[in-house]
Amino acid sequence: MTANATFEQRRRRVGLLFVLPALLVLAVVLGYPIVDSVALALQQVSLRSGVVQQSWVGLDNFRRLFADTTFQRAALNTAYFSSAEVVLVTVISLSIAILLNHPIGRFGIFRILLIVPWAIAPVANAVLWKWILHSNYGVLNGVLKALGVIDVYHVWLGTPASALNFLLLVDVWKSVPFVALLMLAGLQRVPNSLYRAAYMDGAGPWQSFLHVTLPTIRSVIAIAVVLQTIWSLRVFDIVFVLTRGGPADATVLLNFLAYRVTFNFLDLGYGSAIANVVFVLTVILAIVYVRLLWPRERRAG
């Protein structure tokens, strides 16, 4: 079988050649920085007139995290923002997916309505909502007052709790469509014969949802939850455009704090330490994702 072996060897060589360029790019642009980000977190790094100065400080940056009340504030904000976002996005997306999977909801126009918010740039989305939420001329105030819901115009982004919740609303609006599309794709893979069998067994719509729909799309839901959590840790554009972290640091999320410390306060080492926290959180979530995606028997092979 020597001919066969050389054939296999040739295929392997070509395979490596095919994979190499992509791996090189990823190693240079992503691999090197992620390793360096850990090293940077152990240094004092400053930027003076465009020149980077570095010196090793051990775990000092990480020790600073524990005493930093802004960091704690940001961690709490992020915990609230991410968990609320995941719950809202999952529930709303699943409801929309179910609606659009119903025979009445199967018109193409509904799917177009989902794809549009996905394609809108997060920055353009933030600018749009800045206008909608404007305290003097915003349409939200106008509509709510016309409907008699509020008496006076509100400064929606002016108070801490309200500002954070409106950022949440804006990001949920932007995130829902894609997750809904993922779930809709999952729903469409549920074989019709299962519903027929449930019907034969006398199951009502609610029962067939509980016992047929949910179990079959459970993995899609789980994957959406993990991905959405990872995405929510990256939220940046809307904070930058809408509030810049204010009022009183109420909308500072970990990601934004790392940016602010690094590029506004030019404390690059400490910024890296905060970024590392986000990184570790993401790695944990990514491991969960891989476990969900790859059932045990296939991982073995």
Partner 1 sequence: MSFVKRRHGGPFMRGFVIAGLIVFVLWSAGPVIWLVLSSLMEQQALIAQPPQVVPSSFTLDNFIQVLSAAAALGHGIFNSALVALFSTAVALAFGAPAAYALARLPVPRANNIAFLILATQMLPGIAIAIPLFIAMSKLGLIDSVLSLGFVYLSFNLPIVIWILRGFFMAIPVGIERAAAVDGAGVSATFWHIVLPISIPPMAAAAVFAFVEAWNEFFFALILTRQNAQTVPLVIAQFAGQYQTVFGQMMAAAVISVVPVIALAIVFRNQVVRGFADGMTKG
Contact track, partner 1, 278-297, x by CB under 8 A: xx--x--xx--xx--xxx--
Q: Which amino acid, one-letter code, is at 217?
A: I
CB of 277 to partner 1, least distance (A): 9
Indicate the residue among 4 and 69 with the shorter CB distance to partner 1: 4
State the nearest-atom distance from the C-beta of 67 to partner 1, in Å. Answer: 21
CA distance 16 to 147: 65
Least separation in angstroms between residue 266's CB and partner 1 is 11
Q: Which stretch binds partner 1 (CB under 8 A): 60-68, 73-81, 131-139, 156-164?
A: 131-139
Looking only at residues 179 through 238 of this chain, which bind partner 1 when binding is defined by CB under 8 A?
A: 181-182, 184-186, 195-196, 199, 205, 219-220, 223, 227, 230, 233-234, 236-237
Q: Which residues contact 43 (CB under 8 A, 6 or more apart)?
A: 54, 55, 56, 57, 61, 269
Stretch of residues binding partner 1 (CB under 8 A), selected from 67-75, 81-89, 102-110, 160-168 = 102-110
CB atoms within 10 A of CB 66: 8
User: E strand or H helix at 102, and its extent?
Assistant: none
Q: Does residue 137 interact with partner 1 by CB under 8 A?
A: yes
Q: Is 34 in the site for partner 1 (CB under 8 A)?
A: yes
Stretch that binds partner 1, among 70-78, 80-88, 141-149, 156-164 (CB under 8 A): 141-149
Is the link from the previous residue into 247 a cis peptide, with omega within 30 of 0? yes
Alpha carbon 225 to its chain centroid, in Å, reads 9
Residue 139 touching partner 1 (CB under 8 A): yes
Please provide the size of the chain in residues: 301
**Which of 84, 122, 165, 211 is close enough to bind partner 1 by CB under 8 A?**
122
Within 156-175, the residues that bind partner 1 by CB under 8 A are 173
For partner 1, which residue of 5, 119, 149, 152 counts as binding (CB under 8 A)? 119
Environment class of residue 6 by beta-carbon count within 10 Å: exposed (0-12), middle (13-18) or buried (19+)? Answer: exposed
Q: How far apart are CA 77 and CA 164, in angstroms?
A: 8
Closest by Cα among 34, 66, 64, 73 to 282: 34
Q: Which of residues 47-76 bind partner 1 (CB under 8 A)?
A: 50, 52
Residues in 247-266 at the binding interface with partner 1, rule: CB under 8 A: 255, 258-259, 262-263
Residues in the interface with partner 1 (CB under 8 A) total 110
* The pair of three-digit structure tokens given for residue 218, joined into one six-digit string: 């459970």
Choosing from 32, 56, 135, 264, the residue that interacts with partner 1 (CB under 8 A) is 32
CA distance 274 to 71: 8
Residues 6+ apart with CB under 8 A from 175: 85, 89, 228, 231, 232
Give least dist CB 250 to partner 1, A: 20
Point out which span in 62-70, 74-82, 83-91, 126-134 binds partner 1 (CB under 8 A).
Answer: 126-134
Residues 140, 131: Cα–Cα separation, whole Å: 9
